[in-house]
Chains A and B, each alone.
Chain A
Amino acid sequence: MAPFGVDLDYVAVAALFCIGLYMLVAKSNLLKKLLGLNVMETSVFAFIVTSGMVEGGDPPLLVAGAQPPFASPIPQAMVLTGIVVVVSVTAVALSLIVQIYAHYGTLEVDELKERP
């Protein structure tokens, strides 16, 4: 979709990336930071999937009745892999966050920095 010569999809993806980045760097709460990281990651996935789309294209399922052009299967496979990677990292991060809270009693970075 590109009205006025601007690729709206890519603009939206870039905006999501920036929102996630803002959460990651500006928020003090660890869980909010992690949510920001997830938003950033999904924005990159959205970029990858979008790049493989084609105007009026069908999903890359070559069953009876499917018409070319097809969306490219490679970006979709990459993103499937990526989603699983991200959930793995998120699970480990959440376990660490729970431990940090159990020990320090806070999730705010500025308070954590003051403790030894």
Chain B
Amino acid sequence: MKGWALALVVVVAATLAIGVQGLPTHDAPEAPIHDHVGARYVERGVEETGMRNLVGAVLLNYRGFDTMVEVVVIFTALAAVLALPRAGSVADAPEALPVSPVVLFVVRLLAPFIALFAIALLFRGHVSPGGGFQAGALFGALFVALGLVLGRRGAARLVPERARPWLQAAAPLTFAAVAALGWALTGSFLGFPQAPELHAVREAMALALEVAIAVGGGVILGSLFQTMEA
């Protein structure tokens, strides 16, 4: 087994070693990666999308369709975990993870700051690093941390039961809504209007996506955590 595995790794390593040879040097500004599509984004991205953070511009605007499918992937993970048979009965489920008092203290101390940081990431995402996903991931991490402190019940209370399925579906649904709006306004699915008088609409659409991704992503990450722990 081990020998077979080593042989496979050696073969793959050799293949990669050959493959690396012919690749364009990545630090060179004239590499194809900087010169073709990338160049246009750098040149006209701000004007075309209204976002100074080009990563955000690519994620939400130029390649928004990828992001739409991606939020569907997270949703799929949630549906997957919820569709599995419940592991064991309540009786043989282990108690909550033991947590040291130091951790409890630190989590309580940091929680508001994490939340603040996540919100800052969310709303300043168009001009600084950050945006929906990063904020969502932080919300999710916060959820997990609070779950440790508040216990399962307390963490479950953070998201009201009746709103939960809606929040979990928030990102795909908002994407579809924004796509439909773009369809109506510009004639293309997920199109963002570029006319100057519609800039406010464009910004509102982007913001709606960011918020939905952050909330939806965060709630789903938290739910994944809870389902696994339960």
Contact = CB atoms under 8 A, between A and B. Distances in A.
B77 A91 contact: yes
B174 to A, nearest CB: 16
A53 interface: yes
B102 interface: no
B212 interface: no
Interface stretch (B16-24, B112-120, B181-189, B194-202): B16-24
A67 to B, nearest CB: 12
Interface of B: 1-2, 4-6, 8-9, 12-13, 16-17, 20, 23, 25-29, 31, 33-34, 37-38, 41-42, 45-46, 52-55, 57-59, 63, 66-67, 70, 73-74, 76-77, 80-81, 84-85, 87-88, 127-129, 133, 217, 221, 224, 227-228
A115 B53 CA distance: 54
7 contacts: A21-B9, A26-B6, A69-B29, A87-B77, A91-B224, A95-B81, A98-B228
B34 A72 contact: yes
Query: Looking at chain B's contact residues, is the secondary structure mostly helix, strand, loop, or mixed?
Result: helix
Among B26, B45, B55, the one with the most A-chain Cβ atoms within 10 Å of its Cβ is B26
B88 A72 contact: no
Contacts of A99: 84-85, 87
Contacts of B73: 84-85, 88
Nearest to A19: B9
A78 B25 CA distance: 20
Nearest to B42: A70
A62 B77 contact: no
Contacts of B26: 7, 9-10, 50-54
B79 to A, nearest CB: 10
Contacts of B42: 60, 62, 68, 70, 73
A19 B80 CA distance: 29
A73 B38 contact: yes
A112 interface: no
Among B74, B77, B85, the one with the most A-chain Cβ atoms within 10 Å of its Cβ is B77
A62 B46 contact: yes
B87 A98 contact: yes
Contacts of B25: 2, 7
